[in-house]
């Protein structure tokens, strides 16, 4: 793994921070996944093309700071964390150094990396720049922290906590903590645009197997409470609508998201049956988002097709940059850029995940998961 210099410093940071955990009254939160949850991980990857540490990103963040979030402000990881009493998401793992945590209570870590996916190959080359055959093996400069590596980082955190607090205390802490995962979209994008010879069923099976492997690794580390966010109707992203002559959604891509949600539900049920101590909430991001797209006004959205920040048709011909066109009414936009939701949309999603009904989060919501 890279950046080994922070390993010793991480121990010191956790030693300072973990003191307040019991007093906090809430479990620690660990977040894994892709750009929907990345709060600055990729800022530490010089070779990454999946970065957002420049304007107009962060225009609505305190002091208009571009933090690396793919948003005009906070993202879903932040708003989910806020539901549990945190100011915002825990800090990125790669930011843990001698000045990062100071005397603040240890409340968890965010490992999410923009561009990553369930497959280790996903995100290793900039989307749309090269056509990599599905399943190809290649070496490229570091572009993302894969989900496999994110779990390795979690293992290191657990090891350091055990050195500080003891093994039994750490095991209890991990078992009561909440693990939120938001991933899979980039895998679908890569497959759909690769002209792969793999069948839809074969590809979805490979994703399901990868997810099972990752979840089993987390279970082996002691994780017991999982908040899983499934794939949204990504065929309705501005970046995908421009492939449709009518400006409508790419329904074939949406169909992949629906099919994978069904597989994910079955997988989680199977794992919870095999491991009786496992509790989970599966957020149906597809239904949550499509309901807003089909009936936006009750949610205060007036634009659900175009991006707020970008250029060209639907503001989706380029990524958000300092020179991009920026909408003034950001709270009325569903999409911030080509792929990602606005701060307003992320807040709505988090509130729904926290206290929504079974049509949006099943079998229990995130609030019930915390108490389970």
Do residues 75 and 84 lie in contact, with contact meaning Cβ atoms separated by under 8 Å?
no
Which helix (H) or strand (E) segment is 172 a member of?
helix 167-176
340 is catalytic: yes
CA distance 159 to 155: 6
Which of 197, 203, 3 lies closest to 121 in space, CA to CA?
203
Chain centroid to CA 149: 15
- List Cα–Cα distances, 79 to 51, 75, 350, 351, 370, in angstroms: 20, 6, 6, 8, 15
Residues of 191-230 as b/e, b for ≥16 C-beta within 10 angstroms? bbebebeeeeeebbebbbebbbebbebbbebbbbbbbbbb
Which of 35, 48, 182, 196 does the annotation list as catalytic?
35
Known catalytic residue: 100? no
CA 315 to chain centre: 23
Angle between helices 200-220 and 147-165 (to 10 degrees): 10
C-alpha of 369 from chain center: 18
Question: Helix (H, G, I), strand (E, B), or coil: what is residue 30?
Answer: strand
* Residues with Cβ within 8 Å of residue 253, at least 6 apart in sequence: 188, 189, 192, 234, 235, 240
- Burial status of residue 142 (CB atoms within 10 A of its CB: 0-12, 13-18, 19 or more): middle
Check 113, 187, 340, 346 and give the catalytic one.
340
Active site residues: 35, 337, 340
């Amino acid at each position: 793994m890279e950046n080994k210099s922070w390993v010793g410093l991480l121990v010191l940071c956790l030693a300072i921070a973990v003191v307040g955990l019991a007093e906090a009254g809430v479990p620690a939160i660990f977040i894994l996944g892709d750009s929907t949850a990345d709060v600055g991980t990729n800022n530490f990857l010089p070779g990454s093309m999946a970065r957002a540490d420049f304007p107009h990103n962060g225009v609505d963040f305190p002091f208009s700071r571009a933090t690396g979030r793919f948003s005009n402000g906070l993202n879903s990881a932040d708003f989910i964390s806020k539901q549990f009493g945190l100011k915002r998401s825990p800090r990125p793992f790669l930011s843990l150094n001698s000045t990062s945590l100071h005397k603040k209570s240890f409340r968890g870590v965010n490992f999410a990396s923009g561009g990553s996916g369930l497959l280790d190959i996903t995100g290793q080359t900039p989307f749309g720049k090269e056509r990599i055959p599905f399943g190809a093996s290649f070496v490229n400069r570091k572009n993302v922290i894969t989900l496999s590596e994110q779990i390795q980082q979690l293992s290191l955190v657990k090891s350091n906590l055990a050195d500080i607090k003891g093994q039994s205390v750490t095991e209890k802490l991990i078992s009561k903590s909440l693990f939120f995962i938001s991933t899979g979209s980039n895998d679908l994008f890569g497959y759909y645009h690769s002209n792969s010879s793999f069948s839809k069923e074969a590809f979805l099976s490979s994703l399901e197997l990868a997810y099972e492997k990752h979840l089993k690794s987390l279970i082996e580390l002691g994780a017991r409470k999982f908040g899983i966010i499934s794939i949204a109707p990504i065929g309705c992203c501005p970046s995908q609508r421009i492939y449709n002559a009518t400006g409508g959604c790419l329904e074939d891509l949406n169909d992949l998201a629906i099919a994978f949600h069904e597989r994910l539900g079955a997988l989680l049920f199977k794992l919870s049956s095999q491991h009786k101590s496992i509790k989970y909430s599966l957020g149906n991001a597809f239904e949550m988002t499509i309901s807003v797209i089909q009936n936006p006004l009750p949610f205060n959205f007036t634009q659900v097709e175009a991006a707020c920040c970008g250029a060209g048709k639907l503001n989706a011909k380029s990524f958000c940059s300092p020179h991009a066109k920026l909408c003034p009414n950001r709270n009325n936009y569903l999409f911030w850029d080509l792929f990602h939701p606005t701060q307003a949309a992320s807040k709505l999603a988090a509130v729904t995940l926290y206290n929504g009904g079974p049509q949006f989060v099943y079998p229990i919501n995130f609030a019930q998961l915390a108490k389970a």
